[in-house]
A = this chain, B = another copy of it.
């Protein structure tokens, strides 16, 4: 166990890389993953769709000048050089490129004349049921959308599918709608995460209601608290991002897209409200757990009190007649022994009756 503590300490011992760095210097701060670089390009309009995978960043630069909408999905934030080349080619500010690779960056939106930059967190539970938090950045300009992810995930699969569907809305709208659709897929996934935490909190509550001997439930409650705090931190700022997008009068954002962004705003509020509800419930669980412990202690004390209160006086009576005085008249009575038994039974049932009346039995 002590080891576990040490390991945790070590995990944090690496020097925070952003200290003493020039602003705009791109530094990847997450765990060094071995994620291969992967670039997917979707080129589409109402009438056509072209899909291709690349590994060399230089090969996708020409997509900037195509007349159709282009979605370049870049996976692998450790490849800072490639991101720099790609970002500069599409005109992104160096400080934004720093934000793309800084996995600790909080969700935000930055509106420039020619493009809009959005950075958010993608959340999901992996197979081992532990929460994964991924840093995702989007930039959309005239005819292009760039997306930067830490690793390949299934969150955008639905959008890939819908792009292939000729009659869908995605192909008839512009880059602003694709950016909206990507954000929408991320927020939809937040609902999954909320469901997961809801199940967990309700299970903890059920366990407390059973009042069985679960001593480590305090830990589970504390862990749930911690996870809810983490989820809250990752998801709450997206509301501001979406509100900003909703109120922005940018040439890139079409009027018909605004209704969809308003709808997304709605979803973001709903996620936030649900998280706060489970947060409040989890806080209450600790109070309830304390009352459960106290009730158990009460039960333990009652058993002790009943046993001791009944047998200590009886033992005293037996002790009396175990004394060795030369002259103890009761000892010579013929039925003295039986009289004493009678007295003891009287005391025994008297105390039982007393405890019954107190509802301790």
Contacts and interface: CB of A to CB of B under 8 A. Distances in A.
B326 A105 contact: no
A61 B323 CA distance: 101
A312 B16 CA distance: 60
A201 B291 CA distance: 18
Interface size class of A (residues with CB under 8 A): 35 or more
B298 A297 contact: yes
Nearest to A181: B23
A196 to B, nearest CB: 9
A318 interface: yes
Given A263-B23, A325-B331, A270 B222 contact: no
Interface in A306-328: 307-309, 311-316, 318-328
Interface in A180-216: 181, 184-185, 188-189, 191-192, 195, 198-199, 202-203, 205-210, 212-213, 215
Contact of A205 (B105, B222, B270, B360): B222
Contact of A331 (B99, B313, B315, B326): B326
A277 B229 contact: yes
Interface stretch (A5-13, A68-76, A78-86): A5-13
A298 B214 CA distance: 13
A304 B294 contact: no
Interface string A214-249: 010011011001100110010000000000000000
Copy number in this complex? 5
A337 B311 contact: no
A126 interface: no
A304 B301 contact: yes
A355 to B, nearest CB: 9
B331 A336 contact: no
A359 B316 contact: no
Contact of A313 (B266, B287, B307, B332): B307
A88 interface: no
Interface stretch (A32-40, A47-55, A133-141, A278-286): A278-286
Contacts of A198: 12
29 contacts: A19-B188, A19-B192, A21-B188, A22-B168, A104-B270, A218-B288, A218-B295, A225-B284, A229-B280, A229-B281, A286-B291, A287-B290, A289-B291, A290-B291, A291-B293, A294-B294, A297-B297, A297-B301, A304-B309, A314-B316, A315-B319, A318-B319, A318-B320, A324-B331, A325-B330, A326-B336, A327-B334, A327-B335, A327-B337
Given A95-B260, A318-B323, 16 more contacts: A8-B199, A8-B206, A18-B191, A19-B158, A98-B263, A105-B266, A106-B266, A218-B291, A222-B284, A287-B290, A297-B301, A308-B308, A311-B316, A322-B323, A325-B331, A327-B336
